[in-house]
Amino acid sequence: MDGIIPLYKDRGMTSFDCVSRLRRILKTKKIGHSGTLDPAVDGVLPICVGSATKVVEYLMQSGKVYQGELVIGRATETEDFEGKVIEQAPVTTPLTDEQIRAAMAKLTGPITQIPPMYSAVKVNGKRLYEYARAGEEVTRPVRHVTIKRFELVRNRYDAVHHEQHVFFKVACTKGTYVRTLVVDLARSLGYPGAMKWLTRLESGGFTIDQTLSLNDIQALVAHQTIDRYLYPLDYALKDYPTMELTASQWKAVQNGGWLRATEVQPAADEVVLKYDGATKALYHRTADQHYKPTKMFSVK
């Protein structure tokens, strides 16, 4: 079995839990996911099966879109509602849509982030959450990400608890910590904040309405119709230009051979090479006017 499945990951499961269960359902070990989702986050998790595991990195390069809720007025140790409250500050005057949108605009574009202590980032061979649980501090690496869109969906003031509830939508590059982004939004408005919930709407070129649940997949396997719902390996490469190889060119490519720039059309920086309609390789242009292998997908 080879292909890509846009999985809907439920809250409460780790990404590894999903892969583990799919290995049992699909009866194959060759499975990988593109982009970890925290257990508290639900939504799109593209799964690569069989030979499609070779394109995991290309699925991960695509942007992601999330929607969620930020509560302004309290902070937690994990930056979301999974952790204990470590700071509170009542919002005595409701924040306006204009104030929030202005603060969002300042966090749009290229930004730097420091991953939260409760995250899976590794430092010196240990994950940050391991340091956090042990009460140890460690220098965290700085990440450079791009926030393509940061939009206010709805804004509600809770006069009973003196908190502001900000419903948002964000489009961002891989590696973005959305809970850190919204906590920074709260701080820029002068208050502590914590993310209440988060759903990934898009990832790997898939939208949430394309996803299948684990139960859906199990039923499709039982009815022997899962192949109809597998996306081909090409789906991860759909943004690259393609070229159909001649028989002589394919013979060279099979052995990892180079192609002259004059042989390749269109003359792009990277080109997907196909033979007999099947995707075989991704080649890139070099300074010496040749195309060399970036990734081989099949030599048969």
Which residues does the annotation mark as catalytic? 38
- Label the pairing between strands 290-296 and 74-76: unpaired
Amino acid of residue 245: L
Write out the two tokens for 252. 């060279």
Give the span between the Cα atoms of 150 and 170, in whole angstroms.
5
Cβ neighbours of residue 8 closer than 8 Å, sequence gap 6 or more = 42, 43, 44, 45, 208, 211, 212, 213
**Residues ≥6 apart with Cβ < 8 Å to 279:** 232, 233, 234, 237, 242, 272, 273, 297, 298
| Residue 223 one-letter amino acid | H
Residues 6+ apart with CB under 8 A from 12: 39, 40
